[in-house]
């Protein structure tokens, strides 16, 4: 059961209008929300980011936050997710449908679409870590907006996959930004380093949870950009995202990071995160 433009529709019934601007231009925004044990994690944070993305692309959302919350809760209910289910919720808002011109047509009505999918947590991968490859950050200059236009992200991820790595680490002229669909952290002498939340990276919900957890537990966090040399000499590297959670990156371009295994700081943060999600979804 999906929610499309005000209606509940069965899978397979969906029709995208040929002149939907999300479809034609990637003109729209989205969120992916984690569902742990049938409950949404950090929904408020996702809502705040969604409204911010909308403002930044000059899109007036006609829905109040409570209406979007209601749609999300109904999706969980109608798809019979229980307290045994881990899942993810995808919600996208296209600017709407209008004859194809680049400027924003006046009076256009946004189109919302949302669905849930059962999705297991990547617990085995989190124990082993992933390999990464450095890739030129070919995306645009507003990576803080969670836009539907993801071709840059698709391409950099595929470059890494084609080269046999599991994830790409992106850099702009040698300055590390983030990964194809996650934020990146380096660990050096027990402290965390990550790119500041400016225009060059997405302001990840998991990134912020990790920063908060680290600070609460006496781990220093530096929101400072760093370069490729610093990256390669890090004691540990990890990425954060809604679906990958806290994932160690054990090698870059085939060279091991630290001793090439999931390190102690990542293990500690994973344990803190585990406790934190249990506490947040139990309430």
- Closer to ligand PMP by Cβ: residue 39 or 207: 207
Q: How far is the CB of 44 from ligand PMP (least distance, A)?
A: 13
- Closer to ligand PMP by Cβ: residue 72 or 97: 72
Q: How many helices (H) and strands (E) does the chain have?
A: 8, 15
Tokens linked to 210: 């990790």
- Closer to ligand PMP by Cβ: residue 3 or 30: 30
- Closer to ligand PMP by Cβ: residue 131 or 183: 183
Q: How far is the CB of 158 from ligand PMP (least distance, A)?
A: 15
HSE (CB half, 13 Å, CA atoms) of 87? 21
Q: What is the CA radius of gyration of the chain?
A: 19
From 37, 118, 127, 146, active-site residue: 146
What's the CA gap between 140 and 160, in Å, rounded? 19
- Closer to ligand PMP by Cβ: residue 153 or 250: 153
Residues that bind ligand PMP (CB under 6 A): 153, 178, 181-183, 202, 204-207, 240-242
Number of residues assigned to the chain: 283
What's the CA gap between 210 and 105, in Å, rounded? 40
Contacts of 156 (CB under 8 A, 6+ apart): 135, 136, 137, 138, 139, 168, 170, 180
Q: How far is the CB of 241 from ligand PMP (least distance, A)?
A: 4
Q: How far is the CB of 192 from ligand PMP (least distance, A)?
A: 15
Q: How far is the CB of 97 from ligand PMP (least distance, A)?
A: 26
Is the separation of the CB atoms in 26 and 145 below 8 Å? no
Q: Is 78 a catalytic residue?
A: no
Is the separation of the CB atoms in 17 and 7 below 8 Å? no
Residues with a catalytic annotation lie at: 146
């Amino acid at each position: 059961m999906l929610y499309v433009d005000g209606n509940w529709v069965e899978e397979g019934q969906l029709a995208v209008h040929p002149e939907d601007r999300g479809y034609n231009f990637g003109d729209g925004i989205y969120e992916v929300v984690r569902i742990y044990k049938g409950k949404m994690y950090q929904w408020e944070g996702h809502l705040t980011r969604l409204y911010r993305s909308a403002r930044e692309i000059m899109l007036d959302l006609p829905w109040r936050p409570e209406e979007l919350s209601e749609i999300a809760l109904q999706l969980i209910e109608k798809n019979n997710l229980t307290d045994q289910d881990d899942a993810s919720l995808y919600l996208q808002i296209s600017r709407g449908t209008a004859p194809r011109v680049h400027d924003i047509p006046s009076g256009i009505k946004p189109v919302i679409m949302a669905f849930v999918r059962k999705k297991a947590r990547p617990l085995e991968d989190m124990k082993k870590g992933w390999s990464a490859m450095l890739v030129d950050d070919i995306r645009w200059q507003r990576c803080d907006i969670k836009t539907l236009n993801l071709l840059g992200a698709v391409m950099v991820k595929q470059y890494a996959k084609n080269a046999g790595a599991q994830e790409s680490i992106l850099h702009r002229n040698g300055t590390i930004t983030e990964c194809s669909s996650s934020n990146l952290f380096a660990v050096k002498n027990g402290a965390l380093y990550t790119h500041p939340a400016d225009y060059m990276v997405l302001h990840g919900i998991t990134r912020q949870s990790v920063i908060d957890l680290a600070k609460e537990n006496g781990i220093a966090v530096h929101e400072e950009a760093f370069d490729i040399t610093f990256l390669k000499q890090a004691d540990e590297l990890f990425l954060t995202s809604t679906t990958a959670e806290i994932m160690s990156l054990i090698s870059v371009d085939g060279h091991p990071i630290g001793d090439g295994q999931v390190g102690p700081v990542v293990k500690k943060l994973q344990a803190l995160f585990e406790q934190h999600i249990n506490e947040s979804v139990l309430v």
